[in-house]
Amino acid sequence: MRIKEGFLISRYITIALLFCFIIFQSSCRSRKSFVYFQGDMKTDAVEPYSQLIRANDLLSIQVSSSNPELSIPFNPYSSLSGNQPAGYLNGIASPLGYLVNPSGEINFPYLGKIKVSDRTREEITAELQESLAKYLSEPIVYIRILNFKVTVLGDVGNPGTFNIPNEKISFLEAVGLAGDLNNSALRDNILLIRTTQGKTETFRIDLTKQNIFTSNTYYLQQGDIIYVEANSAQRNAASINNRLSIVISVVTLAITTLTLLIK
């Protein structure tokens, strides 16, 4: 009689484990949900890229001319002037530069305050070269954004904030920089947060489609934040895995106890 009861209990336990396994498998996603840019690849042009200078940008502005000595006063943050780095970017020493104030201005040697926000580097460069022509022969101006960065958070391989030296990075490059999306990541509803002129905009991006290539979100702007959410199936699977671990532990204990009782 005891053996028969043990057999029935073992059978119920097996059914319970099979049921848990079926639930776990049902949470698995189809291969199609993992594929980027589905369909025939198109050759539509990417939206033109134009990076605008904004408040709180840290600018490096280097001036050169046919007479290098005369250019020195216009390069207060250059190593030629003996003014060494004192700022930091992600824990790494970085050169000082012109910090764009909340009004969108910088204070440039001899020229005074210059409006730079909401303008491209090309526009600012042209203005500076024209103004510096009063002091220098054939002035050349080179401008960089020292603190250009983007942030990738959520279900990716290597989340974090990344400094971008060349000030130009696409959405896909940023995802790659963050170690790509994890298998559990939601690929068709990625959130992009962008702040422009004090206003925050949000965009939803579907990487299973190709319209990212013709979107104004293809190239990232300074300070953009990407958030990748885990898919609901994965969240459910995580919950099921936790419960399954508990069930397996309980079942293992029950089988062990039952075996000892039968003996």
pLDDT of residue 262: 61
Q: What's the Cα-to-Cα distance from 246 to each of 10, 87, 177, 205, 242, rounded to whole Å?
A: 18, 52, 37, 37, 7
pLDDT of residue 49: 73
Maximum CA extent, the chain: 108
- Determine the Cα–Cα distance for residues 215 and 48; give it in Å rounded to an integer: 10
pLDDT of residue 104: 93
- Both tokens of residue 133? 């022509």
Counting Cβ atoms within 10 Å, is residue 59 exposed (0-12), middle (13-18) or buried (19+)? Answer: buried
- Both tokens of residue 20? 């848990």
pLDDT of residue 196: 81
- Quote the pTM value: 0.69
Intervals of the chain under pLDDT 70: 1-34, 40-48, 79-95, 232-263
Strand pairing report for 112-115 and 190-196: unpaired
